[in-house]
Amino acid sequence: MAKALIKADSFYEIYERKDGIKDVTHYCPGCGHGVLHKLIAEALDDFGIREKSILISPVGCSVFAYYYFRLGNIQAAHGRAPAVATGIKRVHPESVVISYQGDGDLAAIGGNNILQAANRGENITVFFVNNAIYGMTGGQMAPTTLIGQKTTTTPYGRNVVNEGYPVRVCELLATLDAPVYIERVALTDAKNTSKVRRAVRKALQNQIDNKGFSLVEVLSACPSNWKMTPVQAKQWVEDNLIKQFPLGVYKDLTDQIKPKKAEKQVFSVDGLKEKLNIPMEEEKYSTSVKEAKEFRNMKLKIAGFGGQGILLLGLGMAQAAMQAGYNVSWLPSYGPEMRGGTANCHVNISKERIGSPLVSKPTVVIAMNLPSMEKFQSEIEPGGLLLYDTSLITQKPVRDDIKVLGIPATQIADNLGNTRIANMVIMGAFIAYTSVLDKQAVINALPFFIKRKNLIPLNEKAIVEGMNYVLSSN
């Protein structure tokens, strides 16, 4: 009895991280979050797992869980806690990983995340606080909002014609094969609260025993947004929430499941490099890199019509540069239609670490049609390069503070018997002009991005023709 009055060791004694009063939580009176925190902290203490536990806090009122829990803490983007938990658990299988989420976080923006984590049967524990609204942002409708319930975004009450029906997460996830244990409980009277306590412990024990995915949904009051007193709010859970979301065990394979062996899932960097044919450190930059400033950390935007092999050209450059030891990124952007629509990709080829794959100020633009040249030439950094296909673009570039290289790529490709290899003619012209990669580096990479092996010799020819065009005109 006395033990219940002692603050769990899994809580900080003083909440130093919190602004203002440091010995109370930020939760409103009557909120379920605080009670659930207590039940989790006590379970961690009793199981002796505090030091190896990591709590992923969501976006929502419990975003500040790290103020209180004296554990490993990570903050995930809205709805992404199950994905973050998956990553952590896989590299630290000995740890106990808890994904703590609200209903907006788990069932709305993160709906697919939880579905996939449950379906993979990740060995994690999920505590899902269902208070039927978005608490932190002031009470908007959540997927779990009841029919007729008034929220700030459903001022006349949730209407199934407009907003659909409340989503029952436990019932939904219980249809999947992988989850081991799924139960819905409620923070109302002492009897129900002791069921929450039991469920919390069972879900954690399953993870400790390596049994697999467990989720406990906790129906919980939000007096502030429901505009009720704490007592009225608890009663509202009893009278309304439980009717829509019946309590009980929806799946329990705990006694039938054999513990899975917890295996660390990490690849060694060297092993990965070998698999991807990336040279080891000492072999870096095997190619003759032009040290001109504009080509050192190259940011490319490659654009044209869908069907011209724009994305493949960018992918090929990134692959060849990666094999030559550069840091690279490739970010495709698709138009609404694949063939005939517009396509562009962003490619970084850099000796330094790449902060973002997005290229907003390119040092090189490759334009394979007029709309692309018109759209992107203004973005090029002064002193950068515009490479364009003069067979399809008869207009002259307007910039006079950049280098311009025109090449009749489509014409050259036609002469080789296949219009579709114009992209590789451009590749040849690009490497000959910038020297960022040598011919052999690109040829070595061809099998990685040209899937039809019989087309490799023709692509090689196109690269050579593109190189020759540039070298003979310089």
DSSP string, 132-190: SEETTTT-EE-TTPPTT---SS-TT---HHHH-PPP-HHHHHTTSSS--EEEEEE-SSH
Query: Which does residue 415 touch among ligand TPP, ligand SF4, none (CB within 5 to 8 A, set by kind)?
Result: none
Determine contact, residues 405/412, Cβ cutoff 8 Å: no
Distance, CA of 282 to CA of 164 (rounded, Å): 60
Copy the structure tokens of residue 186. 């409620």
With CB under 6 A as the contact rule, the residue among 11, 12, 15, 27 that binds ligand SF4 is 27
CA-nearest of 368, 396, 364 to 381 is: 364
Distance, CA of 33 to CA of 21 (rounded, Å): 18
What Rg do the C-alpha atoms of the chain give, in angstroms? 29
Q: Least distance from C-beta 7 to ligand TPP, angstroms?
A: 23
Residue 318 in the binding site for ligand SF4 (CB under 6 A): no
Distance, CA of 34 to CA of 182 (rounded, Å): 22
Query: Which does residue 330 touch among ligand TPP, ligand SF4, none (CB within 5 to 8 A, set by kind)?
Result: none
Closer CB to ligand SF4, 31 or 40, in the complex = 31
Closer CB to ligand SF4, 108 or 368, in the complex = 108
Q: How many other C-beta atoms lie within 10 A of the C-beta of residue 162?
A: 9
Query: Which does residue 78 touch among ligand SF4, ligand TPP, none (CB within 5 to 8 A, set by kind)?
Result: ligand TPP
Distance, CA of 106 to CA of 127 (rounded, Å): 10
With CB under 6 A as the contact rule, the residue among 11, 12, 31, 128 that binds ligand SF4 is 31
Residue 32 in the binding site for ligand TPP (CB under 6 A): no
Residue 134 in the binding site for ligand TPP (CB under 6 A): yes
Residue 131 in the binding site for ligand SF4 (CB under 6 A): yes
Closer CB to ligand TPP, 165 or 285, in the complex = 165
Query: Which does residue 105 touch among ligand TPP, ligand SF4, none (CB within 5 to 8 A, set by kind)?
Result: ligand TPP
At 199, phi and psi to the nearest 5? -65, -40
With CB under 6 A as the contact rule, the residue among 36, 41, 44, 61 that binds ligand TPP is 61
Beta bridge partners of 176: none
Q: 75 CB contacts (<8 Å, ≥6 apart)?
A: 56, 57, 63, 66
Distance, CA of 26 to CA of 34 (rounded, Å): 9
Q: Least distance from C-beta 439 to ligand TPP, angstroms?
A: 46
Residue 250 in the binding site for ligand SF4 (CB under 6 A): no
| x-marked contacts with ligand TPP along 87-116 as a string, rule CB under 6 A | ---------------xxxx-----------
Q: Least distance from C-beta 27 to ligand SF4, angstroms?
A: 4
Query: Which does residue 103 touch among ligand TPP, ligand SF4, none (CB within 5 to 8 A, set by kind)?
Result: ligand TPP
Q: How many other C-beta atoms lie within 10 A of the C-beta of residue 293?
A: 9
Closer CB to ligand SF4, 238 or 381, in the complex = 238
At 291, phi and psi to the nearest 5? -85, 5
Query: For strand 133-134 and strand 140-141, is the pairing parallel, antiparallel, or unpaired?
Result: antiparallel
DSSP string, 70-83: -SEEEE--TT-HHH
Burial (CB count <10 Å: 0-12, 13-18, 19+), residue 37: buried
CA-nearest of 307, 138, 189, 171 to 250 is: 171
Copy the structure tokens of residue 31. 């909120």
Closer CB to ligand TPP, 101 or 348, in the complex = 101
For 59, the 3-state DSSP assignment is: coil
Residue 188 in the binding site for ligand SF4 (CB under 6 A): no
Site for ligand SF4 in 209-228 (CB under 6 A): 222-225
Determine contact, residues 217/170, Cβ cutoff 8 Å: yes
Which listed range, 26-34, 73-81, 265-273, 413-421, lies at the site for ligand SF4 (CB under 6 A)? Answer: 26-34
Tallying the residues shown for the chain, one arrives at 474
Query: Which does residue 27 touch among ligand SF4, ligand TPP, none (CB within 5 to 8 A, set by kind)?
Result: ligand SF4
| x-marked contacts with ligand TPP along 389-428 as a string, rule CB under 6 A | ----------------------------------------
Determine contact, residues 321/349, Cβ cutoff 8 Å: yes
Query: Which does residue 122 touch among ligand TPP, ligand SF4, none (CB within 5 to 8 A, set by kind)?
Result: none
| x-marked contacts with ligand SF4 along 39-78 as a string, rule CB under 6 A | ----------------------x-----------------
Contacts to ligand SF4 by CB under 6 A: 27-28, 31, 33, 61, 131, 135-136, 222-225
Contacts to ligand TPP by CB under 6 A: 59-62, 78, 102-105, 129, 131, 134-137, 142
